[in-house]
A and B are shown apart, each in its own frame.
Chain A
Amino acid sequence: MKVKVKAKEKDGVVKAKVLIKHAMETGRRKDKKGVIIPAHHVTEVKAEYKGATIFSAEFGAGVSKDPFVKFQFKGKAGDQVSVSATDNKGQTGKSEATIK
């Protein structure tokens, strides 16, 4: 799973933006043959900063395809923030960014 992170600091507050490549299948959509496509979506997103989790999110199928989430925390430029994501099939993705 591809995860992309951008993070920027201003006045001690870091704004982190995350984009995840994921189909986010709801489990209610049918394919061309009319067969239901099983639910397949991101369930958890977790952000770590200096070895601790500073933000996490649980997603249902109601989050848009190719999920985007923007969160904020106290931190400083030059540090690393890492974001990992898991879906309901156990697939994972992880990405790190240097705070600008």
Chain B
Amino acid sequence: MKRLTILCAALTTVFTAVANASSDKYDKKVAQDIAKYRTFFANKFPNVKNFGEYKDGVYAIDAKAREQWIEIEDFPPYELSIDEGKELFEKPFANGKTYASCFKNGGINIRHNYPHFDTKTNQVMTLELAINNCRTSNGEKPLGYKKGKIAALSAYMASTSREQKFNVKVPNEAAYKAYLDGKKFFYSKRGQLNLACSDCHMAITGSKLRADIPGPAIGHATGFPVYRSKWGELGTLHRRYGGCNKNVRAKPFKAQSAEYRNLEYFQTLMSQDMDINGPSVRK
């Protein structure tokens, strides 16, 4: 038995080495994680036939809540924010340039390229970080990361990329490290309540936690920014991360900290091949 295991391991190693002259070695490793992750949810929610449905968050598994959600998505309150975001996006900076000058394809239909691992700076580049980098490189002050203008800009950019699929790469060792860091964050217990992200969004999801059903973790990154009924406004993914951490009484990290960016990287990789569905409405 032990021999067999060793043989298998050896074969896998050989296979990996031969198949990829190392460049997509990390993609392969992550792909195995994705497969396990999907199997977990497939077993948990056998009624969800296609993992793509998880782009709708908790509404993929809660039929009653889904009806109300669809009704609100019919003319969602974030539409006004998309308009605001478009205006901001098109308004020139003091130097005459616009956001379009900082992004591929003028910033349109590119949401699914974020987050990505920037091999020049060896860090996870999120859309919101890229927006502020664009501002500062054009002599403008950076925006706050949780809500308001940055959420509106992000909402507009997401709205132009709907139904594009996430295709996140893990280009090098540093990227894989960032991925592992995010993964570790996700499965680590935190706060006075001693809960990991995975406790609520994998183990408990589908059943009630107090009065609420926590959403399945798969697809978490697809719908942001979101207009939460609880907030009464649009907010970014990192604002939500902060809220989640506070809910378990763990001191939150700063929006766009390395911790949250790595977590976003991990979560987006777990949402690989899923549609961009942001902005969207959540309770």
Contacts and interface: CB of A to CB of B under 8 A. Distances in A.
Q: Do chains A and B touch in the complex (CB under 8 A)?
A: yes
Contacts of B83: 4
B80 A17 contact: no
Contacts of B72: 68
A21 B74 contact: no
A66 B77 contact: yes
B232 interface: yes
Contacts of B80: 2, 4, 19, 21, 66
B232 A68 contact: no
B75 interface: yes
Interface string B53-74: 0000000000000000000101
Contacts of B232: 23, 65-66
Q: How large is the interface on B (under 10, 10 to 19, 20 to 34, 35 or more residues)?
A: under 10
Interface string A14-42: 00010101010000000000000000000
Contacts of A70: 74-75
A17 B75 CA distance: 7
Contacts of B74: 17, 70
B86 to A, nearest CB: 13
B259 to A, nearest CB: 27
Interface string A50-69: 00000000000000011010
A65 B233 CA distance: 9
Contacts of B273: none
B27 interface: no
B24 interface: no
B118 interface: no
Most buried by B among A6, A21, A23: A21
Interface string A62-97: 000110101000000000000000000000000000
A4 B83 CA distance: 10
A21 B77 CA distance: 8
Q: Which 5 A-B pairs have the closest CB atoms?
A: A66-B77, A17-B75, A65-B232, A21-B80, A19-B75
Given A17-B74, A19-B80, 11 more contacts: A2-B80, A4-B83, A17-B75, A21-B80, A65-B77, A65-B232, A66-B80, A68-B72, A68-B77, A70-B74, A70-B75
